[in-house]
């Protein structure tokens, strides 16, 4: 019974972690766009977005990432045989990729808190979709488990990635027409 509580908490913190990752990069996009605004908009928007990013990052995203790791690690400790399942290796590879993504987001967070303009808002929109690709991949791996067809999964992964990139380009065109 306790293992079901641990699994439930693991899922809850996965959801809140992804919510934090999805929204923090949106805030990065808004922060980056605010840096191009004239004063006083730049300062007013920048200060508010920095505050929002700080709260989201340290109250939701980081704690959720840590608790996801604790509860996921607890499940592996309780059931080490899970590591013998081939799909778990693929899933854990995506989990490692997600933590790398998280750490890279932390670097972006620190840059934008210091008004460093290293990336365009369009580059950040593309960056925002990486966590979506990881989420989609992990969900399909976990649901399909050993019935996962590697060829179809790989093709599907790339098709989703292409669809996301096309969507970003379409959004950029629509937005530039509205602004122009």
Structure confidence by residue, pLDDT tens digits, 113-164: 999 999 999 899 989 989 988 898 888 888 877 665 656 776 777 788 788 8
Cis geometry, peptide bond prior to residue 40 (ω within 30 degrees of 0)? yes
50 is in an annotated binding site: no
Confidence class for position 173, pLDDT limits 50, 70, 90: confident
How many structural domains comprise the chain?
1
102 is in an annotated binding site: no
The predicted structure's pLDDT at residue 150: 59
Q: Mean pLDDT in the chain? A: 90
Half-sphere exposure of 9 (CA within 13 A, CB side): 17
Domain assignment of residue 136, given as a range: 2-179
The predicted structure's pLDDT at residue 149: 66
> Which pTM value belongs to this model?
0.86
Taking residues 100-122, report their average pLDDT.
96
Please calculate the CA angle 68-74-79 and round it to the nearest 5 degrees: 125
Are the beta carbons of 25 and 122 closer than 8 angstroms? no
Confidence class for position 31, pLDDT limits 50, 70, 90: very high
**How many residues would you count in the chain?**
180
The predicted structure's pLDDT at residue 142: 85
Taking residues 39-65, report their average pLDDT.
97
Q: Say if residue 26's pLDDT is above 80.
A: yes
% helix, strand, coil for the chain, step of 5? 90, 0, 10
Separation CA 81–CA 73 (nearest Å): 13
Structure confidence by residue, pLDDT tens digits, 56-70: 999 999 999 999 999
């Amino acid at each position: 019974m306790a293992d079901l509580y641990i699994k439930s908490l693991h899922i809850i913190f996965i959801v809140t972690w992804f919510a934090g990752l999805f929204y923090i990069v949106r805030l990065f996009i808004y922060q980056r766009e605010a840096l191009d605004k004239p004063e006083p908009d730049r300062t007013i928007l920048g200060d508010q977005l920095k505050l929002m990013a700080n709260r989201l990052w340290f109250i939701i995203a980081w704690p959720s990432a840590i608790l996801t790791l604790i509860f996921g690690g607890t499940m592996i400790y309780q059931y080490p045989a899970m590591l013998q399942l081939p799909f778990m290796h693929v899933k854990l590879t995506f989990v490692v990729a997600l933590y790398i993504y998280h750490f890279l987001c932390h670097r972006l967070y620190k840059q934008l808190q210091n008004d460093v303009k290293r990336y365009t808002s369009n580059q950040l929109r593309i960056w925002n979709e990486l966590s979506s690709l990881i989420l989609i991949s992990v969900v399909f791996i976990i649901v399909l488990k050993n019935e996962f067809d590697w060829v179809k999964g790989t093709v599907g992964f790339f098709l989703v990635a292409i669809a996301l990139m096309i969507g970003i380009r379409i959004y950029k065109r629509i937005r530039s027409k509205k602004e122009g």
